[in-house]
Amino acid sequence: MRILLTNDDGIHAPGMAVLERIARALSDDITIVAPNSERSGAGRSLTLTRPLRLRQLGEKRFAVAGTPTDAVMMALARVMKDAPPELILSGVNRGANLGEDVSYSGTVSAAMEGALAGIPSIALSQVYAREGAGPNVSFAAAEAWGEKVLRPLLDAPWAPRSLYNVNFPAREPEQVLGIRVVPQGLRDYGQTEILQRTDPRGFDYYWIKLAGMPSTPAHSTDLEAAADGWVTVTPLHCDMTNHAALAATTALYR
């Protein structure tokens, strides 16, 4: 099985090394095409106003001076054109991609690009609990549970243009409760903060601090399941149509 690896933290990120070890438990035919530096929060953005640079760093290992979506496009159209991947894995992201994170996440967007091309694609992210963890985020849960969560998905039927979003909880591997399939949650964005600071020259700058987690009945979403200690698996699809509203909206124009 040919597997393409990518991410949004950059090709040299610790999570990429973790992902490669997970992938090599599934196949020895691995190609890496990833951004040359961190592109967190890039979403499905494309580089359209400047040239893209592709640099080979080693055997089947390429860095793209662009976004995660650029990287997947470059992999499919150039690097792996004659032997397309049969599976795309994106991650392991440093930090959660839960709830509405999926609409901002470069990790999920890379998997979405694969799904749009008809290739089974999975985004993987490692939650961490402590603010300001810097480079000290532990990927132990992802490392221990990665193969366990991926193998059943490889044998599952895949709907057209669909993908899976996987998050590993901020726990030691032996403390993980198991794997739960859950829907995407939604944070209370009324709690989002814009933190203001002042630089040494006296100019203001800002950091976005995302909202906290609401509670839903039975702790039923990816946000709460991950916080409770589960590996979460959420099926996603690229069709953003609100099918439930189609009939009512059509009636407005009759």
> Measured at the alpha carbon of residue 117, what is the angle toward residues 160 and 124, in degrees to the nearest 5?
80
To the question of whether residue 109 is assigned a binding role by annotation, the answer is no
**Single-letter amino acid, residue 209:** K
- C-beta separation of 71 from 34 below 8 A: yes
Instruction: Say what the pLDDT of residue 208 is.
Output: 84
Would you call 131 exposed, middle or buried from its count of C-beta atoms within 10 A (0-12, 13-18, 19+)?
exposed
Sign of CA dihedral 171, 173, 175, 180: positive
Instruction: Say what the pLDDT of residue 149 is.
Output: 98
Residues with Cβ within 8 Å of residue 32, at least 6 apart in sequence = 4, 5, 6, 11, 16, 20, 60, 61, 62
CA dist 164 to 61, 152, 195, Å? 24, 12, 33
Instruction: Say what the pLDDT of residue 136 is.
Output: 82
Distance CA(143)–CA(141), nearest Å, equals 5
pLDDT in tens, the chain (254 residues): 999 999 999 999 999 999 999 999 999 999 999 999 999 888 899 999 999 999 999 999 999 999 999 999 999 999 999 999 999 999 999 999 999 889 999 999 999 999 999 999 999 999 998 665 667 899 999 999 999 999 999 989 999 999 999 999 999 999 999 999 999 988 766 667 899 999 999 999 998 876 665 555 556 899 999 999 999 999 999 999 999 999 999 999 98
Strand locations in the chain, DSSP E?
Answer: 2-6, 29-35, 54-58, 61-64, 87-94, 121-126, 162-168, 178-181, 193-198, 204-209, 230-237
To the question of whether residue 70 is assigned a binding role by annotation, the answer is no
To the question of whether residue 155 is assigned a binding role by annotation, the answer is no
Task: Give the DSSP H or E segment for 177.
Answer: none
To the question of whether residue 9 is assigned a binding role by annotation, the answer is yes
Sign of CA dihedral 8, 104, 54, 78: positive
Instruction: Say what the pLDDT of residue 129 is.
Output: 83
**Is the pTM for the entire model greater than 0.75?**
yes
Instruction: For residue 223, count other CB atoms closer than 10 A to its CB.
Output: 27
Pairing status of strand 121-126 against strand 162-168: parallel
Instruction: Say what the pLDDT of residue 211 is.
Output: 60
Distance CA(73)–CA(175), nearest Å, equals 38
